[in-house]
Amino acid sequence: MPELPEVETVRRGLEPAMAGEVIARAEIRRPDLRWPFPEGMAERLAGARIDTLGRRSKYLLLHLDRGETLIVHLGMSGRMVVEETQLGRFRRETSRLERHDHVVLHMASGTRVVFNDPRRFGAMDLIATERLAEHWLLSRLGPEPLGNAFDEDHLVAAFRGRMTPVKSALLDQRIVAGLGNIYVCEALHRARIAPARKAGRIAAHRVRALVPVIRATLDEAIAAGGSSLRDYRQADGALGYFQHGFRVYDREGVPCVTEGCDGIVQRFTQSGRSTFHCPRCQR
């Protein structure tokens, strides 16, 4: 599933083609994705101008001039791809719609934005912008890891007394929004914290040091266009490149890259997910 860096990369890729532009027509090619589309979605989108494109956790937010916001979740395999007709060229190889192109936003500028989702775990919903924070997908989310509300004091307080593994705590979207399996594994390795350690038993100074490590990991991933392991693509169809810089994720059996460490990356399962770590330098 795309994590924060992938969704933020998609947002930045869509912004030049969508921000300030009018949706001339919305083509809804099936009744649902993971859940049914909102009632009258095509009519509510047609003629609306997209004022700004935002992101909350792993959700794209298209704020419309009509006082509504379109929430987009990419799910496991969803992509939003920009096709441009200027000079008769398209960013994708062909302008013909494909089998899994489920929603097509025809912009007044001539650009077409296509939501493609082979596995149909994605979702879209419309809600009044003033009530956005109340939406059931967003209402219980914690602070953004790149925002001011996510600071050392917040994480220390959130971990205090918590006997769940630190990796599970960081995956809890109520503590910090947008982190997923890849970037938690990577950040914990950089911070040299064992993923199975109980969050409440990590010294406060180590928890504080984890905050800038998380931020740096995400910043680097965004700069690299995210991580492409299976389905993820940027808005122009390009792959992300952060996977080439993984330190531990998906590197089982490979020597640890930490300077002076002679450990070997290992994998074990936590809550049904693969955890990658170096048992030598992560404690």
Active-site residue set: 2-3, 58, 273
Amino acid type, 259 = E
Q: Give the 3-state secondary structure of the chain.
A: CCCHHHHHHHHHHHHHHHCCCEEEEEEECCCECCCECCCCHHHHHCCCEEEEEEEECCEEEEEECCCEEEEEECCCCCEEEEECCHHHCCCCCCCCCCCCEEEEEEECCCCEEEEECCCCCCEEEEEEHHHHHHCCCCCCCCCCCCCCCCCHHHHHHHHCCCCCEHHHHHHCCCCCCCCCHHHHHHHHHHHCCCCCCEHHHCCHHHHHHHHHHHHHHHHHHHHCCCCCCCCCCCCCCCCCCHHHHCCCCCCCCCECCCCCCCCECEEEEECCEEEEECCCCCC
209 to 13, 111, 184, 213: CA distances (angstroms): 32, 44, 14, 7
